[in-house]
Amino acid sequence: MSKLANILKMVILLKCRGKMKIRDLAQELEINERMIRKYKDDLEQAGIYLSSTSGINGGYFIENDTSLLSFGVDKEEYKALVMAENELKDNGFIFMKEYNSALDKIAAAMEEKELDKPTTMIISSKPNVDLKSERKKYLDIQTSIVTKNKIKMSYFSLGSGVKERIVSPYSVFRYNGSWYFIGYCDLRNEIREFKISRIKEYEILQEKFERLKTFNLNNYIKSGIGIMCDDEEFKLKIKIKYPMSIKIAERIWIKNQKISYNEDNSIIFEAVTSGMEDIKNWVLGMGINAEVLEPKKLRDLIAEEINNMKNLYK
């Protein structure tokens, strides 16, 4: 690993874990303690200062948050950040406190003291979770990704309930307002995705892992409506009636989507995708406004679901 990569990794560790002893930093970075002291000097030359305390509980830590970049923000950019603040808040963003703090600092640094905040209204649901707990899980998982430590966890899945798993975390991502991470699951012997809010208990293990060289996040999360895209790709063709056709045409749902317009203002939506279960739920959400033309398997799945719903409401 390069010197720059080690220094950045050292900053990430201190920001995520807080105070750390020199020997622990050296062990994580797989270098000697002398280099840790050298990295501290290098950071201070760049204006990033690490504090330290001595004694049995001593170590290096970042007392004041520091930025690697300094840049100006104009009034319109500030308004965009405020609008993002509203959306993040409504979606249960786990770093809302830090985001608001940064926003306040930007506002204080701007020349115009009176900044009108745009008024927006977002009607949506938000995750019903303990944000403080979710934040800690997120930071611990991110740290494990950097340090390549396995995670032992009790995880609840919709299919099999609560099971103990040992996972090598690869990447964290956000989908539909919730945080997920992707990693190699020892229980299933394959790469899986895990919703962070469904982790009941967890422990960061000392055991290290090596990330599969063949893993690529973009390839894993294929072009699809949802994230459960681990089945084979198929050709999708849907006829969507007006006015739902207008709403669908206004967004990019799948990267390779193709939309053809009919004289009655309906559209033909076509794409090559995967994740049939997610596509099924997406189509059902459009009700009588959408008809699957291809593939037949998806059409049959939707017909079966409709029959089950019909029996439920007898």
Question: How many CB atoms neighbour CB 163 within 10 A?
Answer: 14
Residue 211 is part of which domain span? 131-220
Backbone phi, then psi, for 279, in 5-degree steps? -65, -40
Where in 6-113 does DSSP place strands (E)? 51-53, 59-61
Q: How confident is the model over 101-142, as pLDDT tens digits? A: 676 666 655 544 444 555 554 445 566 778 888 889 988 998
Least confident of 62-66, 136-140, 183-187, 255-259: 62-66
Does residue 237 carry a pLDDT above 60?
yes
Last residue of a domain, one of 101, 126, 151: 126
Angle, CA 205 vertex, CA 203 and CA 211 arms, to 5°: 115
DSSP codes, 187-206: TTTEEEEEEGGGEEEEEEEE
The answer to whether residue 185 is domain-embedded is: yes
The answer to whether residue 66 is domain-embedded is: no
Does residue 17 carry a pLDDT above 70?
yes
When divided into structural domains, the chain yields a total of 4
**Residue 139 and residue 111 share a domain:** no
Q: Which tokens sit at 54?
A: 């001595």
The DSSP secondary-structure symbol of 221 reads S
The answer to whether residue 197 is domain-embedded is: yes
pLDDT band with cut points at 50, 70 and 90 for residue 71 = very low
**Residue 105 and residue 51 share a domain:** no
**Residue 210 and residue 149 share a domain:** yes
Q: Do the Cβ atoms of 193 and 143 come closer than 8 Å?
A: no
**Residue 164 and residue 207 share a domain:** yes
Question: DSSP 3-state helix, strand, coil percentages of the chain (rounded to 5)?
Answer: 40, 25, 35
Q: How confident is the model over 257-308, as pLDDT tens digits? A: 999 999 999 999 999 888 788 899 899 999 999 999 999 999 999 999 999 9
The answer to whether residue 228 is domain-embedded is: no
The answer to whether residue 227 is domain-embedded is: no
Map residue 301 onto helix, strand or coil. Answer: helix
Q: Which residue has the tokens 């944000």?
A: 131
Q: Which tokens sit at 247?
A: 């709403």
Give the Cα separation of 36 and 24 in Å (integer): 10
The answer to whether residue 172 is domain-embedded is: yes
